[in-house]
Amino acid sequence: MIDMHLHTKQCRHASGELHQYVSAARDAGLEIVAFSDHLPLPGGAETDYAMRADELDGYVRSVSALRASEHSPRVLLGIEADWMPDDRAHAERLLAAHPFDVVLGSIHFVDGWAFDDPDLIGEYEHRDVDELWRRYFDELRAAARSGLFDVMAHPDLVKKFGFYPEDDPRTLYEETARVFAETGVAFEVNSAGLRKPCAELYPGPDMLRALARAGVPATIGSDAHRPDEVGAGLKEAARALADAGYDSVLYFEGRKPVERGIRGWL
């Protein structure tokens, strides 16, 4: 199996060193993993959301050293980059400056609010959930169109805490799937949702079906923030993909997609 989404303690809200994730991946029998820790945020922001600006080179060096080693699993150099509509040049510059295998694009902020941060959950009392969902999917489509990203990570992250809109979200899923198909980005089936209040994969069944109908290719990742989460839930993810009609997923090398069959994982 493949796990295209691993963090490390460098981003300040995950724990564990690179080598601990690699051993966990080996123990889980994974063949290929990609580290995809959080790209520094614009403006040198010192938050617990991402690595600091001066840590990126070290991250790239350490993951590249693992990538060059011949031990299993194979390690790829990825990064998870926030879509920042007001400063896309920031990510553009950092992404161009490093030899990433894969760039995951994420929406963790809508109009400046980190809507998936448990510390900011109180903000939901003051927000219109329908409006949040519309804005979230607007930004997700804009991110896909930006051309910055290979894969749209956890594409329905907005459901994390289980706040669902009154309007049927399937229209949003379909519009979004159409844009993904037009722009050529892949999406990720991310098993972290299973460990969150929403208690289902990102994306859930309706969005996954919309993406499958539009013919958007998939990747797969645990979004591990602790070594013991490496590979967690990937069987469920592969099963959901197979049920939606997929028989393969993508991984990326040097930002080029490579296809891998999933039948043997079920």
Q: How many CB atoms lie within 10 A of CB 44?
A: 9
Q: Minimum distance from CB of 49 to Zn ion (Å)? A: 7
Cβ–Cβ < 8 Å for 71, 111: no
Our finding on whether 37 is near Fe ion (CB under 5 A) is: no
The reply to whether 229 sits near Fe ion by the rule CB under 5 A is: no
Please choose, out of 43-51, 73-81, 174-182, 196-204, the segment that lies near Fe ion by the rule CB under 5 A: 73-81
Taking the complex as a whole, how short is the minimal distance between the CB of residue 142 and Fe ion, in angstroms? 17
End-to-end CA distance of the chain: 10
**Nearest residue to Zn ion, by Cβ distance, number only:** 223
Residue pair 67/89 in contact by the 8 Å Cβ criterion: no
Omega prior to 205 cis, within 30 of 0: no
| Contacting positions for Zn ion (CB under 5 A) | 153, 223
What residue type is 96 in one-letter code? A
3 makes contact with Fe ion (CB under 5 A): no
Smallest separation, CB 263 to Fe ion (Å): 27
The tokens describing 64, both together, are 């590249």
| Shortest distance (Å) from residue 124 CB to Fe ion | 18
Tokens of 45: 């922001």
223 touching Fe ion, by CB under 5 A: yes
In the block, tokens 């060096």 appear at 61
DSSP 253: E
Distance of closest approach, residue 27 Cβ to Fe ion, in angstroms? 21
Given a contact cutoff of 8 angstroms between Cβ atoms, the answer to whether 204 and 156 are in contact is yes
Site for Fe ion in 84-123 (CB under 5 A): 106
Q: Which one of Zn ion, Fe ion, none interacts with residue 229, CB within 5 to 8 A by kind?
A: none
- What is residue 155's three-state secondary structure? coil
Give 106 or 176: the residue with its C-beta nearer to Fe ion: 106
Q: Which does 150 bind (CB under 5 to 8 A by kind): Zn ion, Fe ion, none?
A: none
219 binds, among Zn ion, Fe ion, none (CB under 5 to 8 A by kind): none
Instruction: Yes or no: say if 163 and 130 are a contact pair by the CB < 8 Å rule.
Output: no
Task: Name residue 24's amino acid.
Answer: A
Beta carbon of residue 116, minimum distance to Fe ion (angstroms, whole number): 7
User: Which stretches of the chain bind Fe ion, using CB under 5 A?
Assistant: 80, 106, 223
